[in-house]
Every structure is written in structure tokens, then in C-alpha cells.
Amino acid sequence: MFKGLVGLVTGGASGLGKATAELIIKQGGRVVICDLPSAPGANTAKALGENAAFAPVDVTSEKDIKNALQTTVDKFGRLDVAVNCAGIASAARTYNFKKDQPFDLELFRTTVEVNLVGTFNVIRLVAGLIGKNAPNADGQRGVIINTASIAAFDGQIGQAAYAASKAGVVGMTLAIARDLSKQGIRVVTIAPGLFRTPMMELLPEPAIKQLEASVPFPPRLGHPHEYALLVQSIIQNPMLNGETIRLDGSLRMQP
């Protein structure tokens, strides 16, 4: 299905990004895993074989992403699909009256910097390489897929920074799709609900169980592979563009 396709996945050393990289390889494609130097990206790529490579990056760094794109060209000669999975979670009340403490501004800045600014940094740079491809019969040169969250719409208590960062990803999706439409590059965002990944496991197990029980159907956390299946569908469907797709078992989170 993806024979000849070259993908780049940020946050590809863990969770949803890792599952996406695994699916691209399984479907015959090649992939560059971009993740922090401290993440197990090299081992992840090694385990996926010669069609996978690791590029250590911080998504907020222009230099790192440009280096990753050079690695992509050196190893695989082109780029067709970029998937932005890199992200961080934060949780604190806007004002903690128990501790008489306001939300830490640096934590707010970092959350937005990585999740929103980092995602845009990758988009603005990968578009240049994807845009060099010859168009297919439909005029398409490639696809960019971003990861928001249902927190963009349902933000629970403690998620002001996280929700703002993800709402920003949702908000810029259509604008960027329009910006890149003349070059035949589609831009789609996925807003996952609850998936069993290391990020989700930052929450106390009782909280996870409570969240899991709140999913109407299926009443469970999603499997990262199920996120990757939506990535596959987006790549395959040329009419998907400029939209954010919730992937949440019809969950609408309570406060």
C-alpha cells in the first residue's frame, strides 16, 4: 500500500508516533523517526530495519528539523508524508488555591512552544521538501498530518495550557491547508481521545480508570495502532483536507 512512500514522524519513538512509524514500515514504506536525543528513537528505528532511520530533534529547533530533512534526502531521496506526533502534557489548575499558587508561566510557555510552535515549525519546513515532489494524477505532492487532542474542545480541569496548545493546532489546520493547496499538499489534524501511551500513564491509575469508564464505546483506552489506522486512511483519501477529525469513541470529557 505504501510502497515507495517516505514518511517522517515526529514523536516517533513512543506511543502514537511509534505506532505510526510501525504501520508505514508494515505497509511497505520508509520512515524517518524524529524524536528527542534522549528518546529511544535509534533503537526504535533499528528494530524497524533498514527502511527506518532516526533523526534526533527538538521540534522547536529550525536547525534540528533542517538536519532531519537532510537525513531524509540522504537516506531516502524524498518526503511524501509528515506526521506531527511530538508533544508534551501538563496539568495544573490556573490558580491552585490550596497552595496559593498561580499556574507556572514557564510551564504554559513550554507546553505551547512544543505542541503548537513546534508543530508549526515542522510543517513550515517539511512543506518545502514535500513541495519538490512531482504531482500525481490528482495534482497531489504530499500530506501533512498533525495531532491535536479532544482537550482542544473538552479541556478538563488542569488543562488550560495543554488545551490552548491543541486548540492552536486545530485552529491553524484549515489556514495551512489553504496556504499549501496550490502546491498539492493536504493538511489534516487528528484529535485523539484517550489512548494507552506513556503520556496517558502520567496520570494516576485511578484517574485513568475513571477516564476509561467514561468512554461510551468502545469503553476502553484506544490502542496506538488505531490512531495509526486513521493516519493510513487520511493518506489514502485525497478528499480529506483542512479538517480536524476526533478519534475518541464518542467521548466528551467531563470537567
Ligand X SMILES: NC(=O)c1ccc[n+]([C@@H]2O[C@H](COP(=O)([O-])OP(=O)(O)OC[C@H]3O[C@@H](n4cnc5c(N)ncnc54)[C@H](O)[C@@H]3O)[C@@H](O)[C@H]2O)c1
Short-list 75, 160, 169, CA closest to 116: 169
Choose the catalytic residue: 76, 162, 195, 227.
Answer: 162
Q: Minimum CB separation from ligand X for residue 59, in Å?
A: 4
Assess whether 227 carries a catalytic annotation.
Answer: no
Residues with Cβ within 8 Å of 206's Cβ and at least 6 positions away in sequence, in order, are: none
Please state, in angstroms and rounded to a whole number, the distance separating the CA atoms of residues 195 and 224: 6
Q: How far is the CB of 157 from ligand X (least distance, A)?
A: 16
Q: Give the nearer residue to ligand LNIPZVSO in terms of CB position, either 14 or 90.
A: 90
With contacts defined by CB under 6 A, how many residues of the chain interact with ligand LNIPZVSO? Answer: 22
**Nearer residue to ligand X within complex by CB, 173 or 197:** 197
Burial class (CB in 10 A: 0-12, 13-18, 19+), 36: middle
Give yes or no for residue 229 binding ligand LNIPZVSO (CB under 6 A).
no
Q: Which is nearer to ligand LNIPZVSO, 49 or 204 (CB)?
A: 204
User: What is the length of the chain?
Assistant: 255
Indicate the DSSP class of residue 115: I
What are the respective helix, strand and coil percentages of the chain, to the nearest 5?
A: 45, 15, 40
What residues numbered 146-205 form the site for ligand LNIPZVSO, per CB under 6 A? 149-151, 156-159, 194, 199-200, 202-204
Nearer to ligand LNIPZVSO, 32 or 194 (CB): 194
Residue type, 182: K
What SS3 state is found at 66? helix
- Residues contributing to the site for ligand LNIPZVSO (CB under 6 A): 89-93, 149-151, 156-159, 194, 199-200, 202-204, 207, 210-211, 253
What positions carry a catalytic annotation?
162
